[in-house]
Amino acid sequence: MPFVNEKTYQRYLSEGREEEFHRLFEEGLERMELGREYPLLLREEVRLQNKFEVRSPINNSLVVGVFQRGDQSNVKEALRLAKESYREWSQSDWRERVELTVKVAEEMRRNKYLLAATITYENGKNRFESVAEVDETIDYFNYYAQLLEENRGYVRPMEGRTMRGEEGVSVMRPFGPWLIISPFNFPLAITATMTLGAVITGNTAVVKPSSDTPLSAYRLVDMMLRAGFPKGVVTYVTCPGEEVSKVLDHDLEVAGFAFTGSREVGHALLKRFIELRPRPAVLELGGKNPTVVTSKADMRKAVEGTFRGAFGFGGQKCSATSRVFVESPVYGEFIKQLKARVEKAVIGDPRKRETFLGPLINRSALDKFRRFVDQAQSDGGRILTGGRVREDKETYLVEPTVIVDLPYSSPLWKRELFVPILLVKEVKDLKEAVELANDVDYGLTAGIFSQDQEEVRYFFDHVQAGVVYANREVGSTTGAMPGVQPFGGWKDSGWTGRNAGGPYYLLSFLREQARTTYQ
């Protein structure tokens, strides 16, 4: 049966109920209880003496919540519970796991707008992006449940025989307790895909969210527990990243870990982790994602797709469009139209329906934006539009920025920036564009705009990326949906080669056991 995605806003829009969508989101904002304290979720709720506040990037006078400042002892306690729970959970019927997973999806659907409001307050996404992230999370739960059901729990009789009375079965089995380390930019969806990937396959999971956005992960784990996932199967610990690193470095009780974040941090964690003992890891480590615009492109689609791919959520996506290579015959017209489109973007409070671009996540990101703009100019680049910080001590608003004429010798062409800065370069032809597109260590997403199917085929055959798009107006390199575009990277962008939201992802959390009996 084909998988059906959630697609809330599109559904309301097609049914002429857009105002209802906005009303429901605003009710979600009103349901937010700002300033509440949230515990660790172990066998019981745990409150510690040391705590920290999370303030909203919308206005840093708003306290989203108060959270426990755990340490490695709390992580180890969570691991101990995960190990205890694993014994029984690993033997559970896959049908039970599917049933619980679907129950969580239903609970999320009932609380969709509270979850979306949580994301908006935590990381500054506008309402359309926040609701879309909740939809993506629901999709992960339903899609992985469908996958496990279609594969009958990954138990497969083997057809071959070497002798009479021989019966062989391939059984995919879990590893044990996993550490889940999730990022700020998709605090619900990415946390969910890694956590559920572990537990639906019979592993257990200790969830450590980003310290910028711990509330979305709290709500996720809380919903899973209330839906019936046993305590200890999934736990939640808030602590500094270095406390988790200490556990990964030394604790053999960790059967595997899943991490989404920067390449530098991910590689450092992985090296130390497998040096202690070879074990599985699921890593998604960013990108430097190119878009190619040929002379045969639909210019309207190319401009809109590039704008949305580059500046959705302020470029704070691993899939964000960061480089554009434009063929010479259309270069002038493309940058003219792109400049006009960028300058129409509404920047401000993401709680308002007209806002496209909300704040960056924190002061560090703001400083990084300033530094990269200055570097682009000192390296010889020219600001086509943007480049300024909106001076406001209570939030972190910046202008979406397009840089042209930047010499290719600048290191900015190959470094992931994670702020709303787009580099545009003129090229002579498609071959040159693809060569430049591949000339980075990353290989996450890539896009092309061309009405020529031969050009599209050449691009797909030669570009080095795990997720590729042609003529995607809603985001030239962004917007992968579970069950439609499996999301994951090549080269330094990934590790397993099995993409989230795709048919092979759950196998990253499983190992094969061949069982043979004789009559």
Q: Which residues are catalytic?
A: 284, 318
Q: Which residues have C-beta within 8 Å of that of residue 2, sequence separation ≥ 6? A: none
DSSP designation for 412: G
Q: What is the CA radius of gyration of the chain?
A: 23
Both tokens assigned to 321: 């469009």
Quick count: other Cβ atoms within 10 Å of Cβ 450?
A: 23
What is the chain's length?
Answer: 519
Q: What amino acid is encoded at 199 in this protein?
A: V
CB-hemisphere CA count at 13 Å for 236? 27
| Tokens, residue 205 | 């999971």
CA 220/CA 236 separation, integer angstroms: 10
Residues 6+ apart with CB under 8 A from 459: 292, 430, 434, 446, 448, 450, 468, 470
Q: What is the rounded CA–CA span in Å between residue 268 and residue 245?
A: 10
Q: How many other β-carbons are positioned within 10 Å of the β-carbon of residue 36?
A: 12
| Measured distance CA(247)–CA(257) in Å, rounded | 11
CA distance 385 to 347: 14
| DSSP-assigned states of every residue in 322-377 | EEEEEEHHHHHHHHHHHHHHHTT--BS-TTSTT-SB---SSHHHHHHHHHHHHHHH
Half-sphere exposure of 424 (CA within 13 A, CB side): 27
DSSP string, 19-68: HHHHHHHHHHHHH--TTEEE-EESSSEE--S-EEEEEETTEEEEEEEEEE
Instruction: Please tell me the number of Cα atoms within 13 Å of 235 on its side-chain side.
Output: 29
Please give the C-alpha separations between residue 191 and each of 90, 215, 396, in angstroms, as whole numbers: 21, 11, 24
Structure tokens at 490: 């090549």
- Residue 184 CA to residue 120 CA, distance in Å, equals 12
Task: Provide the β-strand partners of residue 512.
Answer: 172
Q: What CA–CA distances, in Å, run from 110 to 52, 192, 260, 441?
A: 30, 17, 28, 42
